Amino acid sequence: MWKISDKGEREFTGGKEDWQVVAQIAENCPQYKPDDEDEMVADEAYSCYNCRYRRWTIKSFTCLKD
Amino acid sequence: MRILVSIDDTDTMKMDGVEVRGTGELADLIKQTIEEQGWGSCEPITRHQLLIHPDIPYTSHNSSMCFEADIEESFLKTVIDYASDFLSRESTPDSDPGLCVAVTDRISRPGWLISFGYMAKNYVLTKQEAYDLAEMLGIHLSEHGGTGQGVIGALAGAGLRLSGNDGRFKGKLKIKAENDIISAGDICSQGKVDMVKCLEEGIILQDDEMIVLGDNIKPIWMYGKAVLPVCAVSEEIAGRARWQTYSKSQMKDF
């Protein structure tokens, strides 16, 4: 589900369209924080794709929280 | 005179444990000040997504924010000075903010600015390229902290706004409608949408066509207008309305 990127960051291996999985991850993440409304891209109430601590990469995103 | 104000790369998550403002919010505050001070009137802000690439340092999204304003010529320097000071003051230390202010009638080669905007969505560009083009076209471009890399996105944002065909509007629209169903004509008459269009089918909706409103009513910047994208309704909710507004996930590519 996660790999360590070339920059040493934790990158999600499911890409940018794995809506259900990132919703489940976010629902169970104590550090989840919603991003600005303008930056939200997922329809689910909780989603890593909508989180303030995700950083988009070419194929997916990295999570800034351990 | 008509100007474009574009900013980029201003925000990070936290500074000394305190949540800071994002680029969109800073653009909004600059816009508010222009209007409150009587320097001019402003159009809504658009958000423009730029390239995500390992070689491009960015704060959180690599997107720039831009708005148009009509100001008195005598206030041009005032606006530039204010926005410059504001970005220097409000941007966080580890961000690389950039400011672009372009007088649209004075841009000697508008096509070059638009091209720069689209290049920034597809290629890694340099600060020097941004400064060289800004100087050639007579555009104000300045950096206000950090590496100043945000000048690339700021200039690109102005070009993409000028193109009339990129990005989505900041914020969500509040449209009054009974049972969340409304006609295209009534949406447009409320003043924040110029046109309702089904992009998949290439159809501009007639005034009497009915639309189901979702919770993410957000126009995109297309043909130099605020265009509300809609898609055909799913069978489950089909009734009086044939169309529905885009969800967040449908909107992500704009």
Domain boundaries, chain A: 2-63
> Over the stretch B175-202, which tens digit does the pLDDT of each residue have?
988 889 999 999 999 989 999 999 999 9
Say yes or no: B64 and B128 in one domain: yes
Say yes or no: B153 and B187 in one domain: no
Give the contacts of A28 (CB within 8 A, at least 6 positions apart): none
> Over the stretch B39-97, which tens digit does the pLDDT of each residue have?
999 999 999 999 998 888 766 678 999 999 999 999 999 999 999 999 998 887 778 89
- Yes or no, beta carbons of B54 and A37 under 8 Å apart: no
Say yes or no: B128 and B227 in one domain: no
Are B254 and A39 a contacting pair, CB within 8 Å? no
The chain B residue lying nearest A40, using CA atoms, is B248
This model of the complex carries an ipTM of 0.88
- Total domain count for chain B? 2
Say yes or no: B77 and B135 in one domain: yes
Question: Residue B2: how many CB atoms within 10 A of its CB?
Answer: 14
Q: What residues of A are in contact with residue B254 (Cβ under 8 Å)?
A: none
Say yes or no: B159 and B176 in one domain: no
Which domain-ending residue is among B168, B187, B211?
Answer: B168
| pLDDT top residue among B177 and B160 | B160
Say yes or no: B100 and B217 in one domain: no
Say yes or no: B106 and B196 in one domain: no
Torsion of CA B71, B74, B77, B82, to 10 degrees: -60
Say yes or no: B212 and B92 in one domain: no
Which domain-ending residue is among B145, B168, B191?
Answer: B168
Interface test with A, best of B11, B12, B19, B61 (most A CBs within 10 A): B61
User: Domain span at residue B207?
Assistant: 172-251
How far is the C-alpha of B230 from the C-alpha of A65, rounded, in Å?
Answer: 36
Q: Which of A6, A36, A53 sits opposite B22 (nearest CB)?
A: A36
A32: helix, strand or coil: coil
Q: Which of B53, B60, B248 sits opposite A41 (nearest CB)?
A: B248
- Which residues in chain A show pLDDT less than 70? none
